[in-house]
Chain A
């Protein structure tokens, strides 16, 4: 599956680590969520998350398996620009900082990104947004579950479906037990594990190989990796930047945190989280540049990180990589499960099926929806390769690029442009996604996000210029976004 002849970690040790960390996450999830009594507790962790937990959860959620595994791959393929380009993904978090403050100010009692779109742009745009947002969320969920199975198989030789099932089940259980409080609490520990593990491997690689040897061997064997004028790498840099901004701006994963963080915490937490995230792809990616100096033959580019770690550190390196990857997968999967179940509960169940649903019935519905989402994700990830779209992680992620990028401008205009046209917002998402998808199939995966964002921007600006619709910002705070049937 990964092109490696043998796994780098004995499966007995891998099973021991899987079981130990699974017990830890589930126990923490139960403990953190034991006082949750309402849907608001479960979905937004009491709306007063402090700076430490807020910063860590922003970082942990943005550090996915892609960051820990793809950063070394990109350094190996695109050189210095590859790891620097990946680190610019931090700009998504940094640029979201002012949006998080604005969201909290405009909607102090908001629950989801769907709440905002419904109140700001009306029902039609809300429904379009839900389609875009749910396609992306489900795509990301499936890709993370697939990544779990693939990585556990590659690292330890555990069967793909078994590994994927274990990690998905663990995340479903602790999200179910503790809601966002469990997600944020475990994210804090996972962030420390991921960053400390990546830094540990980087320092030992520096110590064992040294920069002189790395530079000399690269100049001899792969000089293009040190080039500052590597066109493919520079194109990647911009594409990655746009994709990251689109992912963060529209997704309920980040909106639910903006609602959950305490007053005046959101801006500082997203800003600090972004700044602290900036070096992670460099730290995780740089070790790939040591492969010529170490004389490692890399059979599969996406396994270069674990290979170098195992070469430099032996069994300890393999164990550290396994723990870091498990933590990175769990920190993203749990956030997605929680935020997507919130969106489905608030905007589909309460918004479309049972508008009079009480606080308690929403609380129960959220839990049922987490389980259903887990099952659907498991089904889709189990049959990867059999479905037309779900081929590989990269294909799946790039496919969602058109949807993601087309939502950037409606969100920005909705938050800051008082005269933004609501119909224009809907059509900018429809046409942006449509033309972006067409370019994905007709031109190539690398243009889907770019075309989607460009079309969406043109439609948003043109529609508002031709037919401006003034909006009263106070409506967002004034209108009832509390669950219907709950006490005022």
Chain B
């Protein structure tokens, strides 16, 4: 029982997409916290 090309593609693309969006999400959170004055 092996992983198909489609399954491998789905797993890796989903993970890479999520990792690509993570820095953007963190920066958005940072800006939100900064504007609200609650970074620290």
Contact = CB atoms under 8 A, between A and B. Distances in A.
Interface in A223-237: 223, 226-229
Given A49-B40, A262-B38, A203 B3 contact: no
SS of B interface (majority): helix
A192 B3 contact: no
B26 A283 contact: no
Given A50-B33, A56-B26, A212 B5 contact: yes
Query: What is the size category of the interface that chain B forms with chain A?
Result: 20 to 34
Query: What is the size category of the interface that chain A forms with chain B?
Result: 35 or more
Contacts of A53: 30, 33, 39-40
Contacts of B12: 202, 206, 211, 282-283, 286
B21 to A, nearest CB: 9
A80 interface: yes
B30 A215 contact: no
A196 B39 contact: no
Interface in A184-212: 188, 191-192, 195-196, 198-199, 202-203, 206, 211-212
B14 A227 contact: no
A475 to B, nearest CB: 30
B2 A228 contact: yes
A219 interface: yes
B26 A188 contact: yes
Contacts of A45: 40
Interface string A77-107: 0001000100100000000000000000000
A181 B13 contact: no
Nearest to B1: A228
B39 A279 contact: no
Interface string B1-40: 1111100110111111011101101110110110000111
B40 A279 contact: no
A84 B20 CA distance: 18
A195 B22 contact: yes
A211 B16 CA distance: 13
B26 A280 contact: no
A52 interface: yes
Contacts of A84: 11
Contacts of B15: 87, 278-279, 282-283, 286
Interface of A: 45-46, 48-53, 55-56, 80, 84, 87, 181, 188, 191-192, 195-196, 198-199, 202-203, 206, 211-212, 214-215, 219, 223, 226-229, 262, 276, 278-280, 282-283, 286, 289
